[in-house]
């Protein structure tokens, strides 16, 4: 292999961590993002400012690369389909993005190959506020949702009156016992690697993952069922690249697919330290035409999202020195110069021998480190 | 803490790995190097081209930063002393660089605090070729040596005739049983962390480290003696920042300091994966005014230097896909676009449970991956 050019569409935290993984390969990295102060912009000598919907600009950006990867589903589908047609390696497969980026199509695709997912109906934007029931019901926008926005639980008719009138699916509520995520990568040759399932615990206030436990505390049979479902999806739905699949497990132990992301995922940050090959490196390897890496686990971990306070302005990390003195924790900050309420500002990876001790450390981090406005 | 500006003097592989560690902190990184195609140049939006001896340029570069770190002893000492005087945080301590960068002063400093080191004499450039013996003798240039250049063993009078006539020290040969390296970081408050000793095995052909075993296979008493010597040096010689100390252990078990580097070191690459806090992160933490991190070991490892063949030209990684399929290996390439004979092009970290298995993997890597010219 010779030195290659790699383009990353999106320079948020996932783009930053993709850049970090790419640094270890013989590549020149370019980053494309609408925001010139995004996390990754400072870590490339080739930053291009552009909208994710700009077909021409993404095409021009991509045609200058040997390979292109993306950190967001919002990227112009036609542009990456065209890039692939012109011989640029694009990961994950634009074909899969075409149905993943629309939650109605995604659900229908799952149903078509027999993968369990909560019952749902399509509701057009104009129909949303005249929905009659039953309640509770989960409204998911078909397109453009991100980090908890675009998902809303309506418990009664009144809440529907103020719902956003966008094309949606309305999905039955699952009586959730646990939410887990499974990350899978699949190559053009059909090689497949699956990471251990991860348990996600949510922050109800911010509607974001609060922390996760890797691997998830599951019975072997459940873990095996998750592997089988993941492998089936990857093969029947032609996965090519790296995907995160979020599952619900209900009180009776039934498993449902919640949603798929065709890219590295917040629930896989820990793989940088806990696995031989991180989720980010897998995507880089595929993009460069290299084989997948082994996913042997080196250690267990608890990953804590570091959200900012309900504040707005220039970022201040209060108590950082104190937090950095807590042993057995690895911090990653995303370098975001501005805070917004509950913005993802970084994460902490706790590498302790017992879960009990790790959860203690988590509380200690939360107490000591306050990310707020100056 | 608020967002900071960090300058890195030197953009080779150490500068690249310092940048990689800095990416996880809220900092904007600038890189200064004479070579605009150096490893780290592509991974910053603020690259400054300049010579390491250019006082004015380094001063201007540094005055724009909150903190400055360096990857090479060749950096203009007066410039970084001046930066420190003007309130820029500089790591490791320029005061220590002032005697470390001259091997005669370094040896005299060691002797002055009772640290064992091989006997030596100063020999001026004009005296080198008239040296009469005894033989064998090790010639070390007082300044400017790097990666095996600047160190030469003369076995007889004949070889002295073609020796480089530069100010040198002539050092007695130690009957080496093992070479080890110990990395230590010390903060302004006197906090101290010491990494496990690492065993270095040399490639005689290239006069560079071939591979290293972390931790070194030493009896506990020897490890303890290394810790004591390291702590003594750090405290008596006012270490401030991160230092690598290379030791000889002779056939009788006597320990001698070979040399000190006031910066992250090739013998500490593995700490990125094997320790909670890497050597690179320690230097970043200190530069940002943050406390040192814990150095608990997560795993053992064998680190293999990936040198290019005896070739010159545009880099080609032959057999890369095949090498990347070897399990339990993490690769880091430095993105050098040109090979030279035996140039350091990357390293592989082998994370196997037994040393035997790791050494097998090492041979497998060597067989499969050939880094040469196109």
Q: Any CB–CB contact under 8 A between B298 and chain A?
A: yes
Name the residue facing B47 among A45, A314, A337 (closest C-beta): A45
Beta-carbon contacts of A341 under 8 Å, excluding residues fewer than 6 positions away, are A308, A309, A310, A311, A312
Q: Give the gap in angstroms from C-alpha A350 to the nearest C-alpha of chain B.
A: 10
Q: Which residues of B touch A285 (CB under 8 A)?
A: 324
Q: Which two tokens stand for residue A202?
A: 């949510």
Q: Give the gap in angstroms from C-alpha A286 to the nearest C-alpha of chain B.
A: 11
Pick the closest to residue A262 from A223, A224, A234, A295 (CA basis): A234
Given a contact cutoff of 8 angstroms between Cβ atoms, the answer to whether A123 and A171 are in contact is no
Instruction: State the Cα–Cα distance between residues B14 and B58, nearest whole angstrom.
Output: 18
Tens digit of each residue's pLDDT (9 = 90 or more) over B125-134: 999 999 988 9
Instruction: State the Cα–Cα distance between residues B91 and B317, nearest whole angstrom.
Output: 35
Given a contact cutoff of 8 angstroms between Cβ atoms, the answer to whether B81 and B28 are in contact is no
Provide mean pLDDT across the span A320-340: 97
Tens digit of each residue's pLDDT (9 = 90 or more) over A139-163: 999 998 776 678 999 998 888 888 8
Between CA A115 and CA A123, with CA A118 as vertex, the angle to 5 degrees is: 115
Pick the closest to residue A66 from A293, A284, A243 (CA basis): A284
Provide mean pLDDT across the span A7-16: 98
Interface of A with B in 24-63 (CB under 8 A): 24-29, 41-47
Cβ contact B330–A277 (<8 Å): yes
Cβ contact A333–B3 (<8 Å): no
Instruction: State the Cα–Cα distance between residues B101 and B91, nearest whole angstrom.
Output: 15
Mutation choice for A interface testing from B13, B15, B23, B322 by most A CBs within 10 A: B23
Q: Which residues of A touch B289 (CB under 8 A)?
A: 321
Question: Which chain A residue shows the shortest CA-CA distance from B47?
Answer: A45
Name the residue facing A42 among B29, B42, B333 (closest C-beta): B29
- Average pLDDT across chain B, whole number: 95
Sign of the CA dihedral running A108, A110, A112, A115: negative
Name the residue facing B327 among A294, A315, A331 (closest C-beta): A294
The continuous run of DSSP H or E covering A104 comes out as helix A103-112
Name the pTM for this structure.
0.96
Pick the closest to residue A264 from A287, A248, A291, A247 (CA basis): A287
Pick the closest to residue A25 from A278, A268, A196 (CA basis): A278
Interface of B with A in 336-365 (CB under 8 A): 336-337, 351
Cβ contact B335–A26 (<8 Å): yes
Q: Give the gap in angstroms from C-alpha B186 to the nearest C-alpha of chain A.
A: 14
Instruction: State the Cα–Cα distance between residues A290 and A277, nearest whole angstrom.
Output: 13
Cβ contact B324–A293 (<8 Å): yes
Instruction: State the Cα–Cα distance between residues A338 and A334, nearest whole angstrom.
Output: 11
Cβ contact A23–B1 (<8 Å): no
Cβ contact A328–B296 (<8 Å): yes
Q: Which two tokens stand for residue B30?
A: 């600038």
Instruction: State the Cα–Cα distance between residues B226 and B232, nearest whole angstrom.
Output: 10
Question: Which chain B residue shows the shortest CA-CA distance from A191?
Answer: B325
How sure is the predictor about A208, in pLDDT bands with cuts at 50, 70 and 90? confident
Name the residue facing B1 among A23, A293, A317 (closest C-beta): A317
CA count, 13 A, side-chain hemisphere, B217: 9
Q: Give the gap in angstroms from C-alpha B22 to the nearest C-alpha of chain A.
A: 10
Cβ contact B43–A44 (<8 Å): yes
Across the A/B interface, how many CB contacts are shorter than 8 Å? Answer: 141
> What string of H, E and C letters represents the secondary structure of B31-100?
EEECCCCCCCHHHCCCEEECCCCCHHHHHHHHHCCCEEEECCCCCCHHHHHHHHHCCCEEECCHHHHHHH
DSSP string, B261-294: ESS--GGGTTHHHHBSS-HHHHHHHHHTT-PPPP
Cβ contact A24–B332 (<8 Å): yes
Cβ contact B43–A46 (<8 Å): no
Tens digit of each residue's pLDDT (9 = 90 or more) over B196-238: 999 999 877 766 788 999 999 999 999 999 999 999 999 999 9
Q: DSSP code of A173?
A: P
Helix (H), strand (E) counts: chain A = 11, 21
Q: Any CB–CB contact under 8 A between B335 and chain A?
A: yes
Cα-Cα-Cα-Cα torsion A357, A359, A361, A367, nearest 10 degrees, comes to: -150
Q: Any CB–CB contact under 8 A between A220 and chain B?
A: no
Tens digit of each residue's pLDDT (9 = 90 or more) over B148-195: 678 999 998 888 888 899 999 999 999 999 999 999 999 999 999 999
Instruction: State the Cα–Cα distance between residues B10 and B334, nearest whole angstrom.
Output: 13
pLDDT at A205 over 80: no
Q: How confident is the model at residue A147, as a pLDDT?
A: 65
Q: Pairing relation of β-strands A198-203 and B27-33?
A: unpaired
Question: Which chain A residue shows the shortest CA-CA distance from B44?
Answer: A43
Instruction: State the Cα–Cα distance between residues B116 and B166, nearest whole angstrom.
Output: 25
Adjacency order of strands within the sheet including A151-154: A120-123, A168-172, A137-141, A151-154
Pick the closest to residue A198 from A214, A210, A219 (CA basis): A214
C-alpha distance across the termini of chain B, in Å: 48
Q: Give the gap in angstroms from C-alpha B274 to the nearest C-alpha of chain A.
A: 9
Tokens 């049979």 label which residue?
A221
Instruction: State the Cα–Cα distance between residues A241 and B50, nearest whole angstrom.
Output: 41
Cβ contact B316–A45 (<8 Å): no
Cβ contact A25–B293 (<8 Å): no
Q: Rg of chain A over CA atoms, in angstroms?
A: 20
Q: Any CB–CB contact under 8 A between A1 and chain B?
A: yes
Beta-carbon contacts of B48 under 8 Å, excluding residues fewer than 6 positions away, are B30, B31, B32, B57, B61
Mutation choice for A interface testing from B5, B20, B26, B352 by most A CBs within 10 A: B26
Instruction: State the Cα–Cα distance between residues B76 and B34, nearest whole angstrom.
Output: 13
Q: How confident is the model at residue A150, as a pLDDT?
A: 87
Given a contact cutoff of 8 angstroms between Cβ atoms, the answer to whether A173 and A133 are in contact is no
Which of B56-60's residues contact partners 24+ apart within 8 Å by CB, and which partners?
Answer: B57/B32, B58/B9, B58/B32, B58/B83, B59/B83
Q: Which two tokens stand for residue B175?
A: 């009957």
Provide mean pLDDT across the span B286-300: 96
Cβ contact A315–B2 (<8 Å): yes
DSSP string, B144-204: --BTTBTEEEE-SHHHHHTS--SSEEEEEPP-EEEEEEEEEEE-TT--EEEPPPEEEEEET
Q: Any CB–CB contact under 8 A between A333 and chain B?
A: yes
Whether cis (ω within 30° of 0) applies to the bond prior to A332 is no
Cβ contact A299–B296 (<8 Å): no
Cβ contact A298–B296 (<8 Å): no
Q: Give the gap in angstroms from C-alpha B93 to the nearest C-alpha of chain A.
A: 21
Beta-carbon contacts of B30 under 8 Å, excluding residues fewer than 6 positions away, are B5, B6, B7, B8, B44, B46, B47, B48, B61, B64, B65
Cross-strand partners of A33:
A49
Tens digit of each residue's pLDDT (9 = 90 or more) over A18-76: 999 999 999 999 999 999 999 999 999 999 999 999 999 999 999 999 999 999 999 99
CA count, 13 A, side-chain hemisphere, A51: 4
Q: How confident is the model at residue A157, as a pLDDT?
A: 87
pLDDT at A169 over 70: yes
Tens digit of each residue's pLDDT (9 = 90 or more) over A131-140: 988 999 999 9
Cβ atoms < 10 Å from Cβ of A154:
21
Q: Which two tokens stand for residue B370?
A: 């050939």
Q: Which two tokens stand for residue A333?
A: 């900050």
Tens digit of each residue's pLDDT (9 = 90 or more) over A239-254: 999 999 999 999 999 9
Q: Percentage of chain B with pLDDT > 90?
A: 92
CB burial class (10 A; 0-12, 13-18, 19+) of residue A250? middle
Q: Give the gap in angstroms from C-alpha B364 to the nearest C-alpha of chain A.
A: 16
Q: How confident is the model at residue B228, as a pLDDT?
A: 98
Provide mean pLDDT across the span A264-281: 97
Mutation choice for A interface testing from B38, B41, B330 by most A CBs within 10 A: B330
């Amino acid at each position: 292999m010779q030195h290659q050019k790699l383009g990353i569409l999106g320079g948020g935290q996932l783009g930053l961590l993709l850049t970090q993984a790419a640094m270890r390969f013989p590549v020149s990295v370019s980053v494309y993002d609408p925001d010139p102060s995004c996390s990754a912009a400072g870590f490339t000598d080739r930053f291009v400012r552009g909208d994710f919907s700009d077909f021409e600009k993404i095409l021009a950006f991509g045609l200058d690369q040997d390979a292109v990867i993306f950190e967001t589903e919002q990227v112009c589908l036609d542009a990456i389909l065209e890039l692939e047609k012109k011989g640029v390696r694009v990961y994950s497969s634009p074909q899969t993005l075409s149905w993943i980026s629309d939650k109605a199509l995604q659900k229908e695709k799952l149903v078509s190959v027999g993968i369990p997912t909560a019952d749902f109906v399509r509701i057009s934007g104009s129909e949303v506020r005249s929905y009659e029931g039953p309640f509770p019901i989960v409204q998911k926008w078909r397109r453009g949702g991100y980090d908890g926005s675009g998902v809303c639980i309506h418990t009664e008719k009144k809440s529907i009156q103020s719902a956003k009138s966008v094309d949606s699916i309305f999905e039955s509520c699952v009586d959730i016992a646990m939410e887990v995520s499974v990350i899978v990568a699949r190559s053009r040759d059909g090689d497949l690697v699956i990471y251990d399932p991860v348990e996600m615990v949510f922050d109800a206030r911010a509607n974001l993952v609060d922390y996760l436990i890797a691997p998830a505390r599951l019975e072997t049979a459940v873990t095996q069922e998750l592997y089988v479902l993941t492998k089936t999806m990857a093969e029947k739905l032609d996965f090519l690249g790296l995907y995160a699949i979020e599952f619900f497990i209900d009180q009776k132990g039934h498993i449902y697919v919640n949603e798929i992301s065709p890219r590295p995922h917040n629930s896989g940050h820990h793989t940088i330290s806990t696995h031989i090959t991180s989720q980010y490196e897998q995507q880089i390897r595929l993009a460069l035409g290299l084989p997948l890496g082994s996913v042997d686990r080196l250690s267990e971990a608890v990953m804590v999202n570091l959200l900012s306070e309900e504040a707005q302005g220039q970022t201040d990390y209060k108590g950082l020195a104190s937090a950095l003195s807590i042993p057995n924790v690895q911090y990653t900050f995303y370098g975001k110069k501005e805070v917004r309420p509950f913005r993802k500002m970084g994460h902490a990876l706790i590498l302790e021998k017992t879960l009990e001790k790790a959860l203690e450390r988590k509380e200690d981090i939360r107490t000591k480190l306050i990310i707020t406005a100056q």
